[in-house]
Structure 1
Amino acid sequence: MPQLNPAPWFFIMLTSWLTFSFILQPKILLFISTNSPSNKTHSTMKTSPWNWPWT
């Protein structure tokens, strides 16, 4: 069965994974996010129960 032969695709998969892991990933992680998290305090919403007309 030819699909069990790893020779044609294994080297391509391995090189692309290593390229991403060692070259591209550190460069991507150096980018600074434009929407940095702020130190705002989260306020809780005051909710009131719904008054159902049939109860």
Structure 2
Amino acid sequence: MPQLNPNPWFTIMLLTWLSFSFLMQPKLLSFISTNTPMNKALPTKPTPWTWPWT
């Protein structure tokens, strides 16, 4: 059964993972995010709903 032979597929997976880790990841992480996180105020406690039938 050829699908159980890990010989070519493991090498391809390993090379793909290494190329992503060492070539692509630093390039992607060097971009500056345009949406910088902001400090938000703590959410206020919601006011209770006034039901018209009570």
Matched residue count? 53
Q: TM-score, normalised by structure 1?
A: 0.71
Divergent runs of 4+, >4 A: none
Q: Quote the sequence identity (%).
A: 60
> TM-score if structure 2 supplies the norm length?
0.72
Q: Gaps spanning 5+ residues in structure 1: where?
A: none
Following the alignment from structure 1 to structure 2, what is the Cα–Cα distance between the partners of residues 7 and 20? Answer: 21
Residue segments in structure 2 that go unaligned for 5+ positions in a row: none
Letter in 2 for 1:46: K
Structure 2 counterpart of 1:5: 5
